[in-house]
């Protein structure tokens, strides 16, 4: 496939906190962008991060990095939004909704005023709700408003499964779908290593198959953020790299299948809500979401996830 990466790619980052700055650092190392602008309500923070990042430039890729304002979003191929309050110990992602929706109401119109055609990539929580809100507030077509969704949860899941199976995480094919949050759903029915279901992999290649182990692996995946926040206050490396992976798939037109949050229409009775399914990501954002054949338990889980998300959207009048 044609590599559409070019050397005038600008990426705007709204929110230069833990997630925004970590993403900027990973993006710099990737060489995908020639310009990175950091925009934050706390301009000093953005300025400090920009200066610090610039000192890494001579050691990596030639990139212009600065702390800017919304007018600098003009011409950005992708604007990545990480602005907002993060979870404190014990808080769920949904607990953040009122505060972060208010931030989105002020931020999104300012972005589209200067950049009416770029792609928005959402990382703030509650992710799925804010992605839907960003689509509504921006007036952009749904394919151009992407939520990072369960790209992180899927990475956590593959990592933990790989540790159990003793193989490279990249050789584990398994998705987390639904809400990026407590109601997310593991798709056991299509999870595989070398084309074998996980049960077959274990029966043929491990000492024993114990479904309890897999149950615990999912629980650790779902609850990973709570544990990390308890231990170090915030999570940012996994999402930072996940955002780079989505940006790469867009800029290089890779048509990669990644689990991201997108507008779901007519799928197992689910309609008009953002949640994660494996999606084909290309130069225009989400090319399509993939209609996975799910078992009964997975369908019920996904429908529950969509209800949780719709109820939260209704509290915002959306
Ligand atoms: N999608 C994921 O997988 C994932 C993973 C980790 C964190 N998050 C979410 O990302 C968000 C950011 O987390 P963090 O740890 O970087 O938080 P942080 O507090 O370190 O950074 C947030 C930044 O947003 C800025 N900000 C606040 N209001 C703003 C506004 N109106 N305009 C511009 N900037 C504004 C703040 O000044 C701050 O610098 C949170 O909502 C968090 O829950 C998502």
Pocket test for ligand 1, best of 12, 17, 245 (most atoms within 8 A of CB): 17
Q: How far is the CA of 178 from the centre of ligand 1 (A)?
A: 22
Kindly indicate the confidence band of residue 2, based on its pLDDT and cuts at 50, 70 and 90.
very low
Pairing of the two strands 119-122 and 145-147 = parallel
pLDDT value at position 104? 98
Q: What is the DSSP letter of 79?
A: E
Q: Quote the pTM value.
A: 0.97
Does residue 125 have its Cβ closer than 6 Å to ligand 1? Answer: yes
The answer to whether residue 314 is catalytic is: no
Kindly indicate the confidence band of residue 87, based on its pLDDT and cuts at 50, 70 and 90.
confident
Q: How far is the CA of 19 from the centre of ligand 1 (A)?
A: 6
pLDDT value at position 7? 59
Least confident of 86-95, 212-221, 278-287: 86-95
Query: Does the pLDDT of residue 6 top 50, yes or no?
Result: no
Pocket test for ligand 1, best of 46, 86, 100, 147 (most atoms within 8 A of CB): 86
């Amino acid at each position: 496939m044609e590599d559409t990466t070019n050397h005038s790619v600008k990426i705007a980052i709204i929110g230069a906190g833990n997630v925004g700055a970590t993403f900027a650092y990973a993006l710099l190392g990737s060489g995908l962008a020639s310009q990175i602008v950091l925009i934050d309500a706390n301009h000093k923070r953005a300025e400090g991060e920009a200066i610090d990042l610039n000192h890494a430039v001579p050691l990596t890729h030639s990139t212009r990095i600065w702390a800017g304002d919304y007018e600098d979003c003009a011409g950005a191929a992708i604007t990545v939004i990480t602005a907002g309050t993060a979870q404190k110990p014990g808080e769920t992602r949904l607990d953040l909704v009122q505060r972060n929706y208010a931030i989105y109401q002020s931020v999104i119109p300012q972005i589209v005023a200067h950049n009416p055609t770029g792609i928005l990539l959402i990382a703030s929580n509650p992710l799925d709700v804010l992605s839907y809100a960003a689509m509504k507030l921006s007036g952009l077509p749904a394919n151009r408003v992407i939520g990072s969704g369960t790209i992180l949860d899927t990475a956590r899941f593959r990592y933990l499964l790989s540790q159990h199976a003793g193989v490279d995480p990249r050789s584990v094919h398994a998705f987390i779908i639904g809400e990026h949050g407590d109601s997310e759903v593991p798709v056991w029915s299509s999870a595989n290593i070398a084309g074998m279901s996980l049960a077959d992999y274990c029966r043929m290649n491990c000492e024993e198959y114990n479904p309890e182990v897999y149950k615990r692996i999912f629980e650790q995946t779902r609850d990973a953020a709570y544990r990390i926040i308890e231990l170090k206050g915030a999570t940012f490396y996994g999402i930072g790299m996940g955002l780079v992976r989505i940006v790469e798939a867009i800029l290089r037109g890779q048509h990669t299948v990644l689990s991201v949050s997108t507008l779901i229409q007519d799928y197992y009775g689910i309609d008009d809500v953002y949640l994660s399914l494996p999606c084909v990501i290309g130069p225009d954002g989400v090319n399509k979401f993939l209609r996975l054949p799910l078992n009964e338990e997975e369908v019920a889980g996904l429908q529950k996830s969509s209800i949780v998300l719709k109820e939260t959207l209704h509290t915002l009048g959306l």
